[in-house]
């Protein structure tokens, strides 16, 4: 028996991050609480390092396999990973003050966050059903623990419990589906499955397995009817953790959808297209309609996130390369907008006060015109009003749906739901601009949070004016799918 050393080059960023996260775990033990900033800085530095590593080895199209084809590195994985790093970098930045004020400024948050990033990276680069599962579980376990970090808070514990139980069921579903696919094709390798699937595509067990796998992915994405955990977890978790859950994992979940359905089961596209259409319509519908009834901003943004997932799936379900690129653009844009929206909650919260009720936004324009304007940008962007990034995200997926020729009705359904959705975003603007403030306390936040949030909002506006670069990047990243 020959032992051939695997080519570790494609997985260098993952290996580096694993090492750095373990290092931080150890270093954190020796850091006094008043020096905890060291942990924070090291975590940010780690993200920066892996970003540079990924960027400097960006293949731009060449696909590499390693570890017996269980691990893939292609343009899509590189771009999505960089999106994840940036998102988590912003999360750590926004969360710093918030954690400090609530005595949660501990090393665990950062270590768990970094392990979550590692999980996402593995998920994004998975080319084997076991790798998918490995990445997914690493991500999920980190997130369960993060939600539960505020252990004296009842809502947080409840949210963590709910998240864990439902997440475990979804993982079970996913595994069950994988086992069926394995049973039919005799392989766990997504590349081999896609070769063999054509011959066995008509077997009911194949479609059964696919359905169970979609359940698992839909749960991660938070698509209706597997969305029940989303509002409770977003609401119950500390806002710093909500920031995390609502941004980067959506990018990873999109990658999971791509890996399983496109890389693995593209021949079953007519089957999964129908399922995704139903999921998309249900998500856009339930998400947008129920969001109207929410009085809590975190819950409202949770339902809004569900509706965005519906839109995101519109691109994938076309089964076209350009459609995948459009969905990828949507996932990255949504992560940026979602960070901004939850970032605003962090900005307006202070010690002992959570600015997560809609009423807390009354008269924000009187208190701070700039904060109100930033929120206006995020809200109009999520509503899909130009000239903001969210508009181009919607435009690009709708364009793909229209281009299929036979799904024009779906585009019309989607825009009708986006009109309904506009209402609750407008309500936030109404509270900020047309009402008198109830809370008159000055907004106190560290300068780095203010600057970062300003940059975030200007990016949503700036990329709304010039979205071409990111779009071109997404199209390049998808050329091999």
Question: Are 264 and 195 in contact, with CB atoms under 8 Å apart?
Answer: no
Question: Are 58 and 74 in contact, with CB atoms under 8 Å apart?
Answer: no
Cβ 293 to other proteins, closest distance in Å? 16
Please identify which residue in 52, 434, 441, 458 interacts with other proteins, judged by CB under 8 A: 434
Question: Are 21 and 115 in contact, with CB atoms under 8 Å apart?
Answer: yes
Please identify which residue in 31, 100, 289, 387 interacts with other proteins, judged by CB under 8 A: 387
Question: Which residues between 443 and 472 bind other proteins (CB under 8 A)?
Answer: 466-468, 471-472
Distances (CA, A) of 34 to 37, 106, 302, 477, 478: 8, 10, 34, 43, 46
Question: Are 308 and 334 in contact, with CB atoms under 8 Å apart?
Answer: yes
Please identify which residue in 85, 98, 229, 391 interacts with other proteins, judged by CB under 8 A: 391
Closest CA to 174 of 148, 204, 136: 136
Cβ 119 to other proteins, closest distance in Å? 31
Closest to other proteins by CB, 352 vs 469, is: 469
| Torsions phi, psi for 71 (to 5 deg) | -130, 130
Instruction: Assess 209 for contact with other proteins (CB under 8 A).
Output: no
Distance CA 279, CA 281 (A): 6
Instruction: Assess 440 for contact with other proteins (CB under 8 A).
Output: no
Distance CA 98, CA 30 (A): 23
Please identify which residue in 115, 272, 330, 433 interacts with other proteins, judged by CB under 8 A: 433
Rg of the chain taking only CA atoms, in angstroms:
21
Please identify which residue in 54, 333, 381, 396 interacts with other proteins, judged by CB under 8 A: 396
Instruction: Assess 423 for contact with other proteins (CB under 8 A).
Output: yes
Tokens matching residue 450: 């203010």
Closest to other proteins by CB, 30 vs 409, is: 409
Tokens matching residue 191: 């590349």
Question: Which residues between 339 and 368 bind other proteins (CB under 8 A)?
Answer: 365
Please identify which residue in 253, 317, 398, 477 interacts with other proteins, judged by CB under 8 A: 398
Please identify which residue in 399, 437, 443, 459 interacts with other proteins, judged by CB under 8 A: 399
Of 26-34, 263-271, 425-433, 446-454, which segment contacts other proteins by CB under 8 A? 425-433
8-40 burial: b if 16+ Cβ within 10 Å, else e: eebbebbebbbebbeebbeebeeeeeeebeebb
Task: State the residues that interact with other proteins by CB under 8 A.
Answer: 365, 369, 376, 380, 385-387, 391, 395-396, 398-399, 402-403, 405, 408, 411-412, 415-416, 418-419, 422-423, 426-427, 429-430, 433-434, 466-468, 471-472, 475
């Amino acid at each position: 028996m020959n032992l051939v050393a695997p080519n570790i080059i494609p997985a260098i960023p993952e290996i580096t991050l694993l090492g750095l996260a373990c290092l931080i775990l150890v270093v954190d033990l020796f850091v006094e609480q008043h020096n905890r900033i060291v942990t924070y800085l090291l975590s940010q530095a780690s993200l920066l390092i892996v970003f540079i590593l990924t960027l400097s080895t960006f293949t731009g199209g060449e696909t590499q396999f390693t570890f017996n084809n269980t691990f893939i590195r292609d343009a899509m994985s590189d771009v999505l990973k960089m999106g994840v790093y940036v998102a988590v970098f912003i999360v750590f930045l926004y969360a710093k003050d918030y954690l400090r004020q609530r005595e949660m400024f501990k090393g665990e948050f950062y270590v768990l966050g970094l392990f979550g990033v590692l999980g996402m990276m593995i998920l994004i680069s998975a080319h084997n059903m076991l790798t998918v599962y490995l990445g997914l579980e690493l991500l999920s376990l980190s997130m369960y623990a993060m939600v539960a970090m505020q252990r004296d808070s009842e809502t947080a514990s409840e949210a963590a419990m709910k998240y864990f139980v439902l997440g475990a069921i979804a993982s079970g579903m996913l595994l069950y589906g994988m086992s069926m696919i394995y049973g039919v094709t005799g392989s766990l390798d997504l590349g081999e499955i896609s070769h063999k699937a054509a011959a066995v595509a008509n077997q009911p067990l194949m479609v059964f397995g696919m359905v169970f796998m979609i359940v698992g992915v839909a749960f991660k994405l938070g698509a209706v009817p597997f969305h029940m955990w989303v509002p409770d977890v977003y609401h119950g978790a500390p806002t710093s953790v909500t920031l995390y859950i609502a941004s980067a994992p959506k990018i990873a979940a999109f990658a999971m959808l791509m890996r399983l359905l496109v890389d693995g089961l593209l021949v079953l596209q007519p089957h999964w297209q129908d399922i995704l259409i139903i999921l998309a319509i249900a998500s856009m519908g339930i998400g947008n309609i129920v969001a109207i009834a929410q009085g809590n901003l975190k819950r409202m943004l949770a339902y809004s996130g569900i509706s965005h997932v519906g839109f995101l799936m519109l691109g994938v379900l076309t089964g076209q390369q350009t459609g995948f690129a459009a969905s990828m653009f949507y996932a990255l844009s949504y992560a940026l907008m979602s960070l901004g929206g939850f970032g605003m909650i962090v900005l307006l919260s202070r010690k002992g006060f959570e600015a997560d009720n809609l009423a807390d936004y009354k008269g924000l324009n009187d208190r701070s015109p700039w904060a109100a304007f930033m929120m206006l940008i995020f809200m109009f962007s999520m509503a899909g009003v130009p000239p903001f990034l969210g508009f181009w995200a919607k435009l690009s997926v709708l364009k793909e749906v229209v281009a299929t020729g036979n799904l024009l009705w779906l585009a019309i359904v989607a825009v009708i739901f986006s009109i309904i959705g506009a209402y609750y975003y407008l309500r936030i603007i109404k509270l900020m601009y047309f009402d008198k403030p109830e809370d008159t306390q000055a907004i106190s936040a560290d300068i780095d949070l203010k600057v970062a949030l300003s940059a975030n909002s200007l990016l949503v506006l700036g990329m709304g004016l010039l979205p071409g670069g990111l779009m071109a990047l997404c199209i390049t990243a998808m050329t091999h799918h």
